[in-house]
């Protein structure tokens, strides 16, 4: 009997793997024939918008390529050669950026499969690049030590093209199977479409055994029983592969979940939670700075700063989230230099400070500081505040708490979450007593830092020169929870030299230099 039945009660028993909880960062790529025009506010939706009179994409298309009744989306495919695509270079870049998992969009809404498909003749192995893009990336990404991700958006193919408008090639027998055969605009997906949708999934699963499958909003267009069949198939296949896998899905529209709780991981598009949650979650956003994300490469795009990427990564990790970051290659397969530099900048920060991100869990509070994000959920990046040195984010691993200072501090850093209770507020939480701190280091500095705790909080004396930039991480080393205590006040035994260079150690909750 299969381990998982196509029932939500059974699928909700599937655990989230520990490797995914600790991964914190993944990278994926939107790359397909839609990259050829490289135009629009959302490049991946150019194939849809080009057929709609009055849109900027339609005007651009008519001016550049001719009317879509003469030059349809299918005519971009021969131009999509990917002549400079180098899967080893992509995998190396993603690894250097600090990603723990990576992979491609396997098929977007456009109906063009990026693998050697047996059920869809419109695929990258037979046309365009004439290469099995998904298969090649699976090998190089795993060889680089990362888990392999594939994302699926093809359920929206049913609603993506004007399949009932006789003016366009979407209606012709020669290409209708790319656009989805003609049907009324308000008709729901039929059984044949569901069967093809699932067959495409199974091809990629059987060929590449992905560690993560990610679904776009269109999973919600599929009937419930087909969703249950698909997730059960994936989880059961993973049992035979011997892999611990993850499925993710969205909440679209609000209050309707494409997968019920625990059957998969909730993904937020271009957004994040504004508070720490008890459940693990994922957000997908793009490295470009376009409103809502351009996703695929467009020529006039700008990119997020390294500081913003660092702050996003740290903030999400502190709130029990994981970041899936998109990078959009050009049609020829090259990743733009500005995107590369942003990814490598994030990687340099993680090389020094990654122990505060990778394989951590949130602490008992996500952070402190005056800057607050209004609202949590999908599409809330416009509300993303600029963080400062007074904003701290917390993670923890082993016997360490990491305090991530989201700006360049001065001579001292004050962390208020560690303050002593006052007589006026005797019930104020004090999660850590001074006697429980062994030492405090700033990552990148060899010597421990001087510190004290009083009613204001934990005051850390910074070195004359802090290492790096963008955000600074303090490792607050605590005594183990099972360490024996000694003395009238419960002072912990430590190896601290009470009269050494770092100051006198005092017990009983008083201030101490670490």
pLDDT score, position 315: 96
User: Residue 32 pLDDT more than 90?
Assistant: yes
Q: For residues 218, 221, 227 and 233, what is the CA-based torsion angle, rounded to 10 degrees? A: -50
CA distances from 251 to 21, 195, 265, 276, 281 (A): 20, 24, 11, 18, 12
Provide the pairing of β-strand 451-454 with 472-478.
unpaired
User: Residue 497 pLDDT more than 50?
Assistant: no
> Do the domain assignments include residue 483?
no
The edge-to-edge listing of strands for the beta sheet with 472-478 is 361-368, 392-397, 400-405, 472-478, 437-442
- Indicate whether 136 and 277 sit together in one domain: yes
- Indicate whether 304 and 442 sit together in one domain: no
- Indicate whether 184 and 247 sit together in one domain: yes
- Dist CA 60 CA 361 (whole Å): 48
Q: Report, as an integer, the average pLDDT of 399-414.
A: 97
pLDDT score, position 507: 32
> Do the domain assignments include residue 247?
yes
> Do the domain assignments include residue 64?
no
Model pTM score: 0.93
> Do the domain assignments include residue 239?
yes
Q: Report, as an integer, the average pLDDT of 345-349.
A: 98
**Adjacent-strand bridge partners of 265:** 248
> Do the domain assignments include residue 40?
no
pLDDT score, position 419: 87
- Indicate whether 405 and 300 sit together in one domain: no
Closest CA to 296 of 79, 512, 510, 110: 110
Q: How confident is the model at residue 482 (pLDDT cuts 50, 70, 90)?
A: confident
User: Residue 384 pLDDT more than 80?
Assistant: no
Give the distance, in angstroms, between the CA of residue 124 and the centroid of all CA atoms in the same chain. Answer: 26
- Indicate whether 186 and 322 sit together in one domain: yes
Q: For residues 104, 109, 113 and 114, what is the CA-based torsion angle, rounded to 10 degrees? A: -20
- Indicate whether 180 and 307 sit together in one domain: yes
- Indicate whether 331 and 404 sit together in one domain: no
**Adjacent-strand bridge partners of 303:** 288
- Indicate whether 176 and 284 sit together in one domain: yes
Mean pLDDT computed over every residue of the chain? 91
> Do the domain assignments include residue 484?
no
pLDDT score, position 422: 67
- Indicate whether 202 and 86 sit together in one domain: yes
Q: How confident is the model at residue 253 (pLDDT cuts 50, 70, 90)?
A: confident
pLDDT score, position 289: 86
- Dist CA 84 CA 101 (whole Å): 23
Q: Report, as an integer, the average pLDDT of 126-138.
A: 98
User: Residue 382 pLDDT more than 90?
Assistant: no
- Dist CA 495 CA 428 (whole Å): 30
pLDDT score, position 203: 98
Q: What angle do CA 388, 358, 479 make, to 5 degrees?
A: 85
CATH for 91? 3.20.20.80
The percent of residues above 70 in pLDDT, for the chain, comes to: 92
Q: For residues 370, 371, 375 and 379, what is the CA-based torsion angle, rounded to 10 degrees? A: -170
Model confidence pLDDT, tens digit, residues 202-251: 999 999 999 999 999 999 999 999 999 999 999 999 999 999 999 999 99
> Do the domain assignments include residue 66?
no
User: Residue 424 pLDDT more than 70?
Assistant: no
Coil, strand or helix: which one is 170?
helix
Q: For residues 491, 496, 501 and 504, what is the CA-based torsion angle, rounded to 10 degrees? A: 10
CATH for 412? 2.60.40.1180
pLDDT score, position 185: 87
- Indicate whether 258 and 339 sit together in one domain: yes
User: Residue 292 pLDDT more than 90?
Assistant: no
Q: Report, as an integer, the average pLDDT of 92-108.
A: 98
Q: For residues 461, 467, 469 and 475, what is the CA-based torsion angle, rounded to 10 degrees? A: -60
User: Residue 143 pLDDT more than 60?
Assistant: yes
pLDDT score, position 1: 85
- Dist CA 288 CA 328 (whole Å): 8
Residue 264 has a CB neighbour count (10 Å cut-off) of: 28
Domains of the chain: total: 2
pLDDT score, position 405: 98
Domain enclosing residue 284, as ranges: 8-34+79-356
Q: What angle do CA 311, 436, 397 make, to 5 degrees?
A: 40
DSSP string, 465-512: S--SSS-EEEEEEE--TT--B-STT-PBP----TTSTT-----TT---
Closest CA to 141 of 102, 114, 93, 107: 102
Q: Which helix (H) or strand (E) holds 451?
A: strand 451-454
pLDDT score, position 2: 94
3-class DSSP string for 368-437: ECCCCCCCCECCCHHHCCCCCCCCEEEEEECCEEEEEECCCCCCEEEEHHHCCCCCCCCCCCCCCCHHHE
- Indicate whether 290 and 431 sit together in one domain: no
- Indicate whether 265 and 350 sit together in one domain: yes
pLDDT score, position 103: 98
- Dist CA 387 CA 314 (whole Å): 11
CA torsion sign for 452, 457, 458, 461 is: negative
> Do the domain assignments include residue 133?
yes
């Amino acid at each position: 009997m299969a381990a998982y039945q196509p029932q939500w009660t059974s699928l909700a028993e599937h655990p989230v793997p520990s490797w995914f909880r600790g991964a914190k960062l993944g990278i994926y790529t939107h790359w397909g024939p839609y990259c050829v025009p490289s135009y629009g506010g959302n490049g991946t939706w150019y194939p849809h918008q080009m057929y709609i009179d009055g849109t900027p994409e339609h005007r651009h298309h008519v001016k550049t390529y001719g009317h879509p009744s003469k030059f349809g989306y299918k005519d971009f495919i021969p131009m999509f050669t990917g002549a400079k695509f180098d899967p080893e270079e992509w995998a190396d870049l993603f690894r250097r950026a600090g990603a723990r998992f990576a992979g491609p969009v396997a098929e977007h809404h456009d109906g063009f499969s990026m693998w050697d498909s047996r059920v869809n003749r419109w695929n990258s192995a037979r046309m365009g690049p004439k290469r099995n893009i998904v298969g090649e990336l699976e090998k190089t990404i795993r060889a680089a030590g990362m888990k392999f991700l594939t994302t699926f958006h093809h359920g929206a193919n049913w609603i993506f093209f004007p399949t009932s408008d006789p003016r366009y090639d979407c209606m012709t027998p020669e290409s209708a199977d790319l656009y989805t055969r003609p049907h009324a605009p308000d008709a729901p997906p039929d059984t044949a479409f569901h069967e093809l949708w699932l067959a495409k999934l199974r091809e990629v699963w059987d060929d590449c055994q992905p560690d993560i499958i990610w679904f776009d909003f269109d999973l919600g267009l599929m009937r419930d029983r087909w969703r249950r069949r698909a997730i059960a198939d994936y989880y059961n296949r993973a049992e035979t592969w011997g892999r611990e896998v993850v499925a993710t899905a969205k909440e679209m529209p609000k209050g309707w979940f494409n997968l019920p709780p625990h059957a998969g991981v909730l993904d937020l598009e271009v957004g994040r939670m504004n508070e720490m949650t008890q459940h693990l979650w994922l957000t997908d956003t793009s490295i470009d700075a376009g409103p809502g994300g351009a996703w695929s490469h467009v020529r006039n795009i700008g990119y997020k700063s390294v500081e913003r990427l660092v702050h996003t990564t740290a903030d999400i990790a502190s709130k029990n989230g994981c970041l899936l970051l998109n990078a959009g290659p050009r049609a020829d397969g090259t990743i733009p230099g500005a995107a590369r530099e942003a990814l490598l900048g994030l990687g340099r920060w993680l090389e020094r400070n990654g122990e505060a991100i990778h394989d951590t869990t949130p602490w008992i509070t996500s952070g402190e500081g005056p800057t607050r994000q209004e609202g949590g959920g999908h599409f809330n990046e416009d509300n993303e505040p600029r963080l400062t040195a007074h904003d701290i984010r917390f993670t923890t691993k082993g016997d360490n708490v990491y305090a991530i200072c989201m700006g360049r501090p001065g001579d001292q850093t004050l962390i208020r979450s560690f303050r002593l209770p006052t007589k006026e507020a005797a019930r104020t939480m004090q999660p850590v007593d001074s006697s429980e701190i062994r030492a405090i280091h700033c990552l990148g500095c060899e010597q421990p830092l001087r510190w004290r705790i009083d009613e204001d909080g934990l005051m850390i004396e910074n070195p004359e020169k802090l290492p790096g930039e963008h955000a600074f991480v303090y490792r607050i080393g605590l005594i183990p929870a099972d360490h024996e205590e000694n003395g009238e006040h419960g002072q912990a035994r430590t190896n601290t030299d009470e009269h050494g260079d770092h100051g006198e150690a005092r017990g009983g909750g008083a201030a101490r230099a670490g």
